Amino acid sequence: MDKFEIEGFRFSAVGAGIKHADSDRLDLALIASERPATTVGVTTTNLVCAAPVTITRGCLQRGIAQALLINSGNANAYTGDSGLANALFLTKSVADSLGIAHELVVPMSTGVIGQPLPVDRMNAKISELTRLMNPSSFMDAASAILTTDTTPKTALVEKPLSNGPLKIAGMAKGAGMMAPNMATMLAVVLVNMSVEESYLRKVFAQANDLTFNRITVDGDTSTNDTAIIMSGGSNQSKALLDNDMDRNLFSQGLTSVCADLARQIVKDGEGATKVVEVRVFGAPDEFSAVRVSRRIAESPLVKTAFHGEDPNWGRIICAAGSAGVKFDPSKIDLWIGSVQIVKSGNLIAGEWEAQAKQEMRLPEFSISIDLKTGLAHATILTCDLSEEYVAINADYRS
Amino acid sequence: MDKFEIEGFRFSAVGAGIKHADSDRLDLALIASERPATTVGVTTTNLVCAAPVTITRGCLQRGIAQALLINSGNANAYTGDSGLANALFLTKSVADSLGIAHELVVPMSTGVIGQPLPVDRMNAKISELTRLMNPSSFMDAASAILTTDTTPKTALVEKPLSNGPLKIAGMAKGAGMMAPNMATMLAVVLVNMSVEESYLRKVFAQANDLTFNRITVDGDTSTNDTAIIMSGGSNQSKALLDNDMDRNLFSQGLTSVCADLARQIVKDGEGATKVVEVRVFGAPDEFSAVRVSRRIAESPLVKTAFHGEDPNWGRIICAAGSAGVKFDPSKIDLWIGSVQIVKSGNLIAGEWEAQAKQEMRLPEFSISIDLKTGLAHATILTCDLSEEYVAINADYRS
């Protein structure tokens, strides 16, 4: 059995030639549940949102869906009324092919902005997608949703609950345009158990806040960001019981799936060679902690220093100082990995430089800063800024 | 006569081996007036500010100064009490050498953060600096203040006023860490006429707001930013008369000197190959116009597309949409140079792509976006983001 197989859900993926008509790369995926599943999620905060996002928002508000049609290669964003009509046409086509109500189909797109969707080529593949659906093609779907990602991103958690085994499987795509409040990120999380809607909304929002909303690649916010969760897709799905222990295990499991996907997104950020945890402690409140860590995590000067494995701590403190959060620079502590560099505002005497450089040579390391003004803390995951990021994005469309 | 020669001011520059002890590159400059000059200015908004900035703020508050001691290669930032003592010691040394009160000496520094100033090497050069001072070494001083800049930045305006000829000469250094509210920028503007302090403050603040505060290279805010203006350095300096015509000519001249320097800073941004004017029209208010244009101007995805000469207008609209300013995306107009790409929210049909690419091949071009929600407008000057930027900053300290 495929390890991502999850009761009640089936998958398929085809190449529809969405980006290049003559390519057979997988770029269209279908994920469907056996019965309408409790489905909630979050979408981009960008004022300019893609056509599919508008439709998705309606589904997420109703809290129920049965199929996700996801394409890469074209964002169907800023495509006006015809973009909306195209997305609706395709969801209807999927609904007809599956024999379900078209309001149960959620469209998701990622790729270039402002190009009309090749709707005929896509529609021609719908019946094939429906026919191919099976429980073990999770990885095909996870591959079909990628754009400049170099590798599929998946995560899995299993836990024994009172009512039976819990299984949570997630897939995501990321790469560039990672941002304050979500990334150009599509994430789909599937749960074998039935979880009631209001609780699912609350727990998924919390998990998002601690994971997908705490990563950054380049600080841009996409038009298409969507993270969605479907639960209880099978007629046999057991219910998540309303007891603290089960709910805690579910919430922990869900957060760990999202955190796992979020870290993979940063690791595979465009041109990224390093994952860096920017940890801020001693902040007056959590909002300020996030603000300072995000400012450091998004500073091009800090990110290029990460890339150069240069313990240029001055740039880190400089970025912190421009975050708009009040603290006393002469009191702070700063570490690169486990190497302390600044203590109570004073540079540590001695041979920390070589040790700090050593830490930065690792593919993953952390920066910690204690502002000494309060008890709140936050961590943002970021990556380095490399020549490769520029090369990828200077050429993306061509 | 040197064209930058300006009544009442003298200049000198030496190599003090500040960055590398064994280099004789010019890195220490002295600018002094014949008599105490009306001096005002603005400094960084970063909470972490350099030692010289603390001292400079005192001078600028008093509104009077007679000498500027400027070094490159070391920012004297985050250097604690000894950094402050070092800066004070050097200003006192200059004051003694010139025979003036030490409160009249303004220290300015730019370079690496967190390294102690090589105060002995610098102090050893003070008497030579004083001895070398002469009216025609403006360009030497302009060269000595550079860091990763590839070329000195100077600007000059001359206008006939009722009371005699007005001359305004400016020099600046820029390169990286260009930011919301000032850049890592040092700018010195000298005026031959005497301008009363309160009026000078007002006009210089306005000029800053329209020029140095409307540029960005990488969105980072430095610890050392300082823009300073000295007026009426000579006992023979004519007064700027209090009539509308003269004041308008002065204000225009000053703004144009600052704008000229600001554009040179962007043009010589680290790794920059293009200067781009991001113009936003039809905004509800000026603050919103600045916010949208800054968001576009700082987006790494937009800046890499500039670098690739790729008319990827979708990224521009996406960045605008995430600026936190309300507008209706289905109404906007967008141009690259003079080529309209979006009209009332619709992509222009026809062959605009090749024309837009043509515009982007130029070393300087503009992006214009009309939000159609009001009458306010603003322009931010930015540059492209190149592999070279990353290479420079990954290696800066080594």
Chain B interface mutation, best of A78, A276, A313, highest count of B Cβ atoms under 10 Å: A78
Q: What is the pLDDT of residue A150?
A: 86
Instruction: Find the CB nearest A113 among B180, B308, B314.
Output: B314
Q: Which of A78, A300, A310 sits opposite B220 (nearest CB)?
A: A300
**Looking at beta carbons, which residues of chain B come within 8 Å of A395?**
308, 310
- Is A130 marked active-site? no
B375 CB burial (10 A radius; 0-12, 13-18, 19+):
exposed
Contact B37, B65 (CB under 8 A): yes
CB contact under 8 A, A46 and B318: yes
Residues in B closer than 8 angstroms to A327, CB to CB, are 47
Q: For every one of its 398 residues, what pLDDT tens digit does chain B have, with 9 covering 90 and above?
A: 889 999 999 999 999 999 787 778 999 999 999 999 999 998 887 888 889 999 999 999 999 999 999 999 999 988 889 999 999 999 999 999 999 999 999 999 998 888 899 999 999 999 999 999 999 999 999 999 998 888 999 999 999 999 999 999 999 998 654 433 334 688 999 999 999 999 999 999 999 989 988 887 666 667 788 899 999 999 999 999 999 999 999 999 999 999 999 999 888 887 889 999 999 999 999 999 999 999 999 888 899 999 999 998 888 998 898 898 999 998 999 999 999 999 999 888 888 989 999 999 999 999 999 999 999 999 999 999 888 878 877 765 53
C-beta of residue A114 within 8 angstroms of C-beta of residue B347: yes
Judged by CB atoms closer than 8 Å, whether chains meet at A75 and B314 is answered as yes
pLDDT digits (tens, 9 = 90+) for A46-70: 888 889 999 999 999 999 999 999 9
Do residue A318 and residue B77 have CB atoms under 8 angstroms apart?
A: yes
Q: Do A47 and B391 touch (CB under 8 A)?
A: no
- Contact at CB, B223 and A327, closer than 8 angstroms: no
> And the tokens for A185?
């990120």
- Which ipTM score applies to this complex? 0.72
Of the residues B44, B184, B211, B216, which is catalytic? B184
**Which chain A residues are closer than 8 Å to B307 by Cβ?**
390, 394
Q: Report the residue from B308, B322, B392 with minimal CB separation from A221.
A: B322
CB atoms within 10 A of CB A277: 19
**Residues in chain A within 8 Å Cβ distance of B320:** 47-48
- Tens digit of pLDDT for each residue in B197-209? 999 999 999 999 8
Strands B28-43 and B9-14 turn out to be: antiparallel
CB spacing of A389 vs B300 below 8 angstroms: yes
Compute the count of residue pairs across chains A and B with CB atoms less than 8 Å apart.
194
Distance from CA of B387 to the nearest CA of A (A): 4
Q: Which pLDDT does position A318 carry in this prediction?
A: 86
Question: Buried b vs exposed e over A61-96: b needs ≥16 C-beta within 10 Å?
Answer: eebbbbbbbbbbbbbbbbbeeebbebbbbbbbbbbe
pLDDT above 60 for A92:
yes
**Contact criterion met (CB < 8 Å) for A393 and B304:** yes
- pLDDT tens-digit readout, B59-115: 999 999 999 999 999 999 888 899 999 999 999 999 999 999 999 999 999 988 888
The domains located in chain A, with CATH, are 9-265 (3.60.70.12), 275-395 (3.10.20.340)
Q: Which chain B residues have a beta carbon less than 8 Å from that of A225?
A: none
% residues pLDDT > 70 (chain A): 95
Residue in chain A lying closest to B303 (CA): A394
- Report residue B145 as tokens: 């203040």
Rounded CA separation A273/A395 (Å): 19
Helical pair B300-307 and A387-395, crossing angle rounded to 10 deg: 70
pLDDT at B68: 97
